[in-house]
Each structure stands twice: as structure tokens, then as C-alpha cells.
Structure 1
Amino acid sequence: MDSVPKLYERLGEIPKQNGETVQSLKELVKFLQLGARKDLKTISLETILSMSAVTDNGTWAILSVPEVLVSLVFLLQDNDACITKDAACCLINLSADKYGPRELLNLDEEYCPPLQTKPKSIVHECFKHIFDKKSIIADHCCMILCNLSRDKDAAIQTYELLEDSEFRINDILSIFTKVQYNEVGANLHYLGPWLSNMTQDKRVRKFIFDSINVVNNLLPYTTYKKSTVRRGGVVGVLRNLCLDVEFNEWLVFEVDILPSLLLPLAGNEEFDDEDTETLPSELQYLPDDKERESDPDIRKMLVEAITQLCTEKKNREYIRDKGTYLIMRELHKWEKDPAVLTAVGNLVDILIRTEEEIGLENLKDVEVPDDLAEKFSKMDNNDTV
């Protein structure tokens, strides 16, 4: 039987995924156990980590050996900090691969090591660390969950696994909006994009809609300067909430979401008194050093959220009356990113038209000819690729 160093040499360069590589990985499994010697675990994890970080072929090989994946999830429970960190880093790399979520969310108990209890799921194991105030891999686990929930199907499966655990969305939102929940330096910023991913699922959006306090606790983070990751995640959540037209009026009039969406898009431009009075109070007489949101993806999501809120006539009229066009006009002058310019143009097109010109209570009611619908679908697919 090969020793770990010899296996490391055989796995060091992987020209392609093949039977020999997979067999070598399986031979590492006995060294990736909670009760294995630390030096053997360390070398084995270094091997897996280097493979997952360097080549797609290495990642695909690892993902094809569920025994290794289960062992990595187990090692999140290891008593040695270095071991848990290395295991978490391996899982970050593996979950980032397009095939990673499928394999990691569907681990089968038949691959559990002998005499060890199967982890409930990788989702459960990650949240155990996130809720542990003294966990040094809480941020790693946030990143793993973020990777696992990128597409809608994976987000739905993640939610279902979460439902089978003791952790609930309201508790997750609670620790996310605390100033410093973790006591050993983890910031939990990546819970932001995870929440954004999860709000692809209507059940998660419905939960957030059940409490105005939840949304109000998220709104300040649209201008959170300490982390683009957290800020972008929250804006993604808010943009997804705006997709539910039946709640748009509630967001506009009860939550008063518009100022929080507009403020990051505003610069330090001065308007005359008459125009200034139309703006929400939060946007009136901004300081000379006021800067716009620096990330174009976040700016685009903010504009898209406002555009979604314009679906119904009552909301459109309110959004017009609050000087939204002024902010969009100045943003359009300043903006350089083509995708953001397109988004701004779409919103401005709605704002400058009268309701008589629009002729619809609800923009979702417009009938698109079949040939144009097919064309738009192709354009959307091209944008995604």
C-alpha cells in the first residue's frame, strides 16, 4: 500500500481524469478520517487542496470520488484548527465548480466511513460553524454555502436541506444583521450573497415578506462601505424581493424602500430648490463628498429593482413624484458601464412616459408577439453565456 507522500507524487500532475487518479484518491480516504494521525491528514488535505485549486481536471477527479467528499465534510468537525481550515478550503474550491453543488448536496450515506455517523448534510455542517460564535471557519462555511446555492435548483435544494436542520432563515437573518456576531474575527459577509441566492426561491421571499422588520434591517446595508460582498448580497436580496409584483406596493409604501435604492446611485450633484423638494428627504442636500456605488453590478441591480417596482401604475406615479428621474439622469451622464446604461435607459423610458402613453395598469400585462418573445429569449440566453 502506498504511503501518503508517494500518493502525493502520483497525484501531483493530473493530465486528465482517469481510473488511476480516482483509485489514488480512494487510497487517500483512510488518511482523511477524524481519528487519523494529524500528519497524515495534513499531507492528504494538502494533496486534495492543491488538486482542487490548480486544474479543472483535478477538481472533477475529486468530485467523482464521493468517499473523499464525505470525508471532507466530516473533517469540518475535526478538533484541530488547521485541519478544519484545510478541509473548508477544499470544499470552497470544489463547491465553486459547476458540478460541485450537485455532488456535494447529494452525498449518500453509503460512503460514510465505518463506525461514523453520517453528517446531516453539508448545509447543516456549515451552519453549525456559522452559528458557533467561536468558529474560525465560519467565513469559509459562508463561502461554501454561497457557492452551493448559485443556481435556482441548487438554492431550492439548499433550502430543503436547511428545513431538515435546526437552523431557520429568521435566525440566519438575525445573526447576519448583528454588528459582530462571531467573537473570533469572522465577519459573515458571504451570508449576503447566500441570502441573495436563496431568494431565488419564492418560499424564502415569502418568509421575508412576512415581517417588515426583516426588510428594514437589511436596508441600511445598501450603503455599507466596509464590504462590497455584503452590500452586493443585500442589494441582490432586495432586487429579488421586487420580482414579486403582489408585494411591490407594500415595499414602496409600507417599507419605503425607494430611498435605500436611490441613495447609492446618487452623486454630489446640486439641484435647484424645486427639484430638490421632490426627492426623498434622505437624498436632499447630499454632502460634497457623496460618491456613487462603485460596483457596476450593484448599480445595475439597484436600477433593476426600481424598474421592477414600476410594474404597477400606483407605484410608477409615486416613483416619478419622488424625483427618481433626476437621479437617473445624472447617473446616465456619469455612467460608463454598458450594462448599467442599458438598465438606466429602460427605467428612464418608463419614467418619462405619461400613463396615457403607457396605457396599462400593470406592465406585466403587455402582450409580446411570439416572434419577439423568441428573440428576447435568445438575447437573454446570450447575455447569460
Structure 2
Amino acid sequence: MEPLKEISQFLDLKTRLDLKAVALQHVLSTTGSLEGREILLGIPEILRQLVLLAQDSVVAVAKDAALSLVNISADEPGASALLVISETSKPSVNEKPSDNLIDVSLRYIMDKESTLADPFCMIMSNMSRSHGLVDRIIHLIEKSNYTWDALVAAFTAQKYNNKGANLHYLGPVFSNLSQSPSVRKYLMDKERCAIQRLLPFTEYAESIVRRGGIVGTLKNCCFDEEYHEWLLSDKIDILSHLLLPLAGPEEFDEEEQDKLPVDLQFLPENKERERDSDIRLMLLEALAQLCVTRRGREILRDKNAYVILREFHKWEKDKNVLLACENVVDILIRTEEEIGLDNLKEVEVPKKYHDHFQKMDQDFINDT
């Protein structure tokens, strides 16, 4: 720790460039190990200096500082420490750089000429990963000069950044922040149409990060039952976007085909299913949430979701995903009389049965 404390004196915007660069390289190297990051957490002033140096006019210095912050924010204690610094930041005076990392990240992300937009997207993704930090981050975002509309517009633009940044990591940011009801309320505001702009990215082949982030966002939105009928309506058609990544090139008979949503009919022979098992699992978890209400189940049956899941089940090899698929199918093939409840969340399962069912699921997954 003592060598790092000595180095700290050179981590200043006004320090001579060569000394500052060498000191920063040492800190960046230190952030590469868990032990090193833990040592840095004991020197909060260095964390603050990194936020300031990420705004250095020399791009190489700013980049090394930003990459250090990416590494530090990857652990929850680091993200929490950086958030505390952001929350206690004083408003900038005389155009001095800010030590509010959330505000700095947003500034870089929204700057179309920024070469560091992607590292700062990664910092935001890391910072927002812990559920316990989400509401505090949302508070800082809403105090900033940037709106949710602007963030969605930047993410969904065909080419937003002029320096080649792709902003893919905004996908996980939306997924993490949509753990909050307030963000889900914004995304499903019927006048803003934000969620409709995100839907196409469930099939975004160029980036698993962007694709997975948006699927996670949609899954979170499906937890709000009051929006289910709207989400499943023709205006939004979330069902097609959740089922399409699970669909393959199978042909169906005319009756089965006609009941499917238009976007799921007559898929090409080279149609591939989602390659990532974690994303496939999230898609099925979203469908399971839509099955919570009677109206949701009726719509999934009317739109023949079952036949897509039937063929998917034949193809799937991952035990966790298979179990999730079977859970959805089990609900869809039962009649409402058999289910006996409008809302499945009203079912109270005694703990002994709950534990028993969990063990059965685990045994299924572990059975090779």
C-alpha cells in the first residue's frame, strides 16, 4: 500500500505528462488482480484521482484511467466505493473536471466524438450490476443533464458515435437498471415507445452483449403483470421477439403455421436458434412471466407458442434451459380449469413442497 500512496502524488492532472503516465500505468497494472484492487480500495483518493484523470486532455492518459476504472468497478466493493465518491461529488467550479463517475460516464457516452465511449459504457454496466446500487445510480442519472430518451436514442441509432464506438454495453446497463420499477415504467410508457425501439435487438447477430442486455431488459419488463396484455398486443408484439430467437427452420402443417404470428411463419431453411444458452434461458424466463396471468396464457396459446417450444425442446441440450422450456410448456398444455387461478403468483406453496420441487429440478439438471 505504501508504494501506491507514494505514487498517488503523481496522479494529478497538473503533473508532468511522463510522470503521470508512468504512475497511471502502475495503477492500471495493479487493477489487474483482485489483491491489487483490494489494496486500491484502501486508498479512496486514488479512486477519485482516476475519475479525474479519465478526463485528461491526453487521450492515452484518459484511456488508462478509464480502463483502470473498468477493472475496479467489476467487483461490487469497487463499484460501491466509486458510487460513494460520485454521490459526494461537489458541483464543478471554474470548469474543473468532475469526480462524479456516473455523470462523467454519461458525458463520454453521449459525446459523438468520444473515443472512450465504450469503456465508459462498460463502467456503467459494471457499476449497475449489483441490485443494491441500482436505485442510487438511477438517482444520479436523473440528476444529470441527460435523459432516458437520449440514452435510448444513442443506443438504437444506426451509427451514433463518429469514432467507431458501438455502445453495445448500454444493453446490459438497461438490463441492470430495469430491475427498478421506475425504469420499467419509463420503458413501457405507452406514449414514449421506448420498448418498441429495443425489441429488434433480440436478434442482433453482431453482438452477444447487446443482444443479451436487451433480452434481460425485456425479461425484467415481463415481471409487471399490468403491462402483459399491452406487451402481447399487436402494437408491441413482444411474443414474436421472444420466440423468434428460439425458432429453427422447421416446417409446420398449414393449421399450425396459420396460428403463428406473421414473423414466425415460413422461416428460411438457414434459420438458426440463439447460440448462447444464458440468453435462451432468459427468453424462456420472460415467456414464463407472461404465463403468470390467465390472459397472457390465452394469448400464448392463441398464437401457437407451443409449437415453437415443442421443436425447440427437441433441439435443446442444456439441462437448465430444457427445464425452463418444460416449465412454460407445462403451463400452456394445461387447461384453465386445471390451473384454477387467474394469477399464478397467488399460489402459495408450502415451504416443504417448495424445497422438494427445487430438489427435483436440481436433480434433473445434475442427472447426466
TM-score (norm 1): 0.88
Give 1:172's aligned residue: 151
**Contact 1:67–1:111, Cα closer than 8 Å, also in 2:** no
- One-letter identity of the residue aligned with 2:211: R
- Extract structure 1 runs of 4+ deviating beyond 4 A: 108-112, 115-118, 373-381
Q: CA deviation at 1:132?
A: 0.6
> Is the contact between residue 52 and residue 59 of structure 1 (CA under 8 Å) also seen in structure 2?
yes
The alpha-carbon distance between structure 1 residues 83 and 379, as it changes in their structure 2 partners (threshold 3 A), is farther
Measured in 1, the distance between the counterparts of 2:264 and 2:289 equals 21
- Find the aligned partners of 2:89 and 2:250 in 1 and give their Cα distance: 63
Which one of the candidate residues 69, 92, 105 is aligned to 1:126?
105
Residue 240 of structure 1, CA deviation: 0.3
Letter in 1 for 2:210: R
Indicate which of 305, 308, 314 corresponds to 1:333.
Answer: 314
Change beyond 3 A, Cα 1:379–1:63 = farther
For the 8 Å contact 1:126–1:141, the answer to whether it is kept is: yes
Q: Residues 349 and 207 from structure 1, CA distance in 2 versus in 1: closer, same or farther, beyond 3 angstroms?
A: same
Deviation at 1:232, TM superposition (A): 0.6
The aligned counterpart of 1:219 is: 199
Distance 1:162 1:325, change over 3 A: same
Taking a change above 3 Å as real, the CA distance of residues 72 and 380 of structure 1, as seen in their structure-2 partners, is farther
Q: TM-score, normalised by structure 2?
A: 0.92
Q: 2:163 aligns with which of 176, 184, 201?
A: 184
In the TM superposition, residue 70 of structure 1 has moved relative to its aligned partner by 0.3
CA offset at residue 158 of structure 1? 0.9
**Structure 1: gaps spanning 5 or more residues:** 1-20
- Does structure 1 residue 88 correspond to structure 2 residue 66? yes
Give the residue type in structure 2 aligned to 1:349: D
Question: Counterpart of 1:369?
Answer: 350
Count of residue pairs brought into register by the alignment:
358
- Following the alignment from structure 1 to structure 2, what is the Cα–Cα distance between the partners of residues 169 and 306? 26
Show the counterpart of 1:41. Answer: 20
> Identity rate of aligned residues, in percent?
48
Using the alignment, how far apart are the partners of 1:270 and 1:374 within structure 2? 40
- 1:250-329 maps to which residues of 2 (within 5 A)? 250-253=230-233, 254-329=235-310
* Structure 2 CA distance for aligned equivalents of residues 202 and 124 of structure 1: 22
Q: Report the residue type matching 2:14 in the other structure.
A: G
Q: SS of the counterpart of 2:348?
A: coil
The equivalent of 1:160 in structure 2 is: 139
Matched, 1:150 2:129: yes
Asked whether the equivalents of residues 149 and 198 of structure 1 are also in contact (C-alpha less than 8 Å), the reply is yes
Distance 1:380 1:144 in 2: 36
The separation in 2 between residues aligned to 1:200 and 1:329, in whole angstroms, is 30
Give the letter for the 1:140 counterpart.
P
Structure 1 residues 203 and 161: CA distance shift in structure 2, 3 A: same
Measured in 2, the distance between the counterparts of 1:150 and 1:63 equals 18
Residue 376 (structure 1) shift: 7.0
Instruction: Give the Cα separation in 1 of the matches to 2:314 and 2:54.
Output: 50
- Aligned ranges 1:57-76 → 2 under 5 Å: 57-76=35-54
Q: What is the rounded CA distance, in whole Å, between the counterparts of 2:176 and 2:90 in structure 1?
A: 29
Q: CA separation in 1, counterparts of 2:317 and 2:24?
A: 45
CA RMSD, aligned part only?
2.3
Q: Which amino acid aligns with 1:367?
A: E
- Give the match for residue 4 of structure 1: none
Counterpart for residue 203 of structure 1: 182
Which residue does the alignment assign to 2:76? 98
**One-letter amino acid of the counterpart of residue 201, structure 2:** Y
Q: Deviations over 1:320-341 (max 9, x none)?
A: 1211111111111111111111
- Residue of structure 2 in register with 1:233 after alignment: 213
Shift of 1:375: 6.4
- Retained in 2: the 8 A contact 1:26–1:67? no
1:139–1:312 Cα change, 3 Å: same
Q: Secondary structure, in 3 states, of the residue corresponding to 2:9?
A: helix
Aligned in 2, Cα 1:348/1:95: closer, same or farther, shift over 3 Å? same
2: CA distance, partners of 1:44 / 1:377:
52
C-alpha change, 1:28 and 1:220, in structure 2 (3 Å) is same
Deviation at 1:101, TM superposition (A): 1.2
CA contact (8 A) 1:66 1:111 kept: no
CA-to-partner distance for each residue in 1:272-313, whole Å, 9 max, x for gaps?
111111111111110000000111111111111111011111
Q: Aligned-pair distance for 1:363?
A: 0.8
**Distance in 1 between residues matched to 2:325 and 2:354, nearest whole Å:** 22
Deviates more, 1:192-201 or 1:207-216: 207-216
Distance across 2 between alignment mates of 1:111 and 1:138? 24
Amino acid at match of 2:115: I
Q: Is the 8 Å Cα contact of residues 48 and 99 (structure 2) preserved in structure 1?
A: no
